[in-house]
Structure 1
């Protein structure tokens, strides 16, 4: 039941026909007993419309998705460190002025640590391979960097992170925005194939494999072994061809929808100032999984 006291939240983007965010947030409002509702604000003209209609409506915060993350960042009075580095935000808090936050990378790091915290342990002499150099890669690399550099000096970091991407321009942008850290390197397909045992975590951030998106995967089916963990952030379909190939070789898999789940959990906590309980997260995970299964 909603009343005049019910707080309004939502997602801002275009198109939003298949968004799963309302399932995450409305479930969490119900489980936590928070008097809130999460709506879909779908429009392709947000840049022209601006935030005034939402502020007039009394909206307390919004999730922001493509193609408006860079625009959202530009609308804020206050920005978090991640947003500032990336010049991109997936969350706008509208309670006291406009605050821009980015929870994408946080969602990725939590997903990885839930599987195996050693995969981002700076003292382990292994490599992380990041495939792609778009906005998702940038956010994930920023958060990996924070994880590696927390309580560890740059000189003491044994773990390396390598980027494999086709666009050298966007790789340069990432390197610049992160301050050219010693732990970050570029690599080539040939080097990756030759040194595949050096990697324990592979993160795929390109749209290849997404429903309706064609193209050849950057890695071939012979790459994976049972010593690898693959995190393909594509979640529709539930299993991409890359994930299927990795599973055949007995590699560990971090489901792509985990990133969606945990970035949403972090947003809920920012929206409400309530820490999500583990049993709530389990319920939301189950709902997401079932919704995605229906979309095969």
Structure 2
């Protein structure tokens, strides 16, 4: 039941017909007994409207999705490090002033750590391959940098991260925003195929494979072996062609919807100042999976 004390949160974007965020947040409010509701604020004109309608309504925080992440970043008085590096935010906290946070990268890191913490060990000799150079790649690379550098405290990082993308400018921007670290480099598709044994984690961040998006998978079945772990952040469909190819070769798979799950959990923690319990995560994951399966 909602009372006059019920706090309002929501998601801001366009279009939002398929958003799964309300399932995540409303389930967590229920499980944690937190008196709040999470609504869908779908509008094409947020840039013109500004945040005033939400502030007038007393909204305490919003998730922000495309195409408004860059705009959201410009609306805040206070911004987190990840937002600064990416010039984009997926979360606005509206309690005391406007604070912008980006939980996309941390959601990806959480997904990888849950699968196998060793995959982000800076002392490992194998390399990480990141496919794509858009906003998601930027956020994930920022969080990988924090993880590798944080776990290695001033020692040199053995683990290399290679970027395979077409957009030279975007790759340069990523390198600069991370301070041109020695562990980050670019590769061509030919190099990747030749040196496939050198990689253990492959992170696919492009929209290829997403429902309604055409294009051939960037890597084919010649590439994958059972020594690889593939994290394709596309979650609709649940299994992209790239995931199917990797699975046939017995590669390890990190489900794409885990990123959605963990970035949402981090948002909930920021919204409510409540720590999520492991059993809640299991519950939310099963609801999310159920919803995604219905959309086939």
CA distance in 1, matches of 2:274, 2:125: 37
Secondary structure of 1:67's match?
Answer: coil
Question: What is the number of residues matched between the two proteins?
Answer: 296
Residue equivalent to 2:18: 18
Residue deviations 1:178-198, cap 9 Å, x none? 110111000000000000000
- TM-superposed CA distance for 1:274, in Å, is 0.5
8 Å Cα contact 2:122-2:151 kept in structure 1 = no
Compute the TM-score of the two structures, normalised by the length of structure 2.
0.99
Once superposed, which parts of structure 1, at least 4 consecutive aligned residues long, lie more than 6 Å away? none
8 Å Cα contact 1:154-1:182 kept in structure 2 = no
Does residue 139 (structure 1) correspond to residue 139 (structure 2)? The answer is yes
Residue equivalent to 1:59: 59
Residue deviations 1:263-289, cap 9 Å, x none? 000000000010000000000000000
- TM-superposed CA distance for 1:151, in Å, is 4.2
CA distance in 2, matches of 1:167, 1:156: 28
CA distance in 1, matches of 2:244, 2:294: 19
CA distance in 1, matches of 2:274, 2:154: 34
Compute the TM-score of the two structures, normalised by the length of structure 1.
0.99
8 Å Cα contact 2:108-2:263 kept in structure 1 = yes
Does residue 222 (structure 1) correspond to residue 222 (structure 2)? The answer is yes
1:1-296 correspondence runs (5 A)? 1-153=1-153, 156-296=156-296
CA distance in 2, matches of 1:23, 1:79: 27
CA distance in 1, matches of 2:283, 2:274: 17
CA distance in 1, matches of 2:212, 2:238: 13
CA distance in 2, matches of 1:281, 1:153: 31
- TM-superposed CA distance for 1:152, in Å, is 1.9
8 Å Cα contact 1:127-1:200 kept in structure 2 = yes
Structure 1 portions without partners, runs of 5+ = none
Residue deviations 1:9-38, cap 9 Å, x none? 000000000000000000000000000000
CA distance in 2, matches of 1:60, 1:294: 31
8 Å Cα contact 1:90-1:103 kept in structure 2 = yes
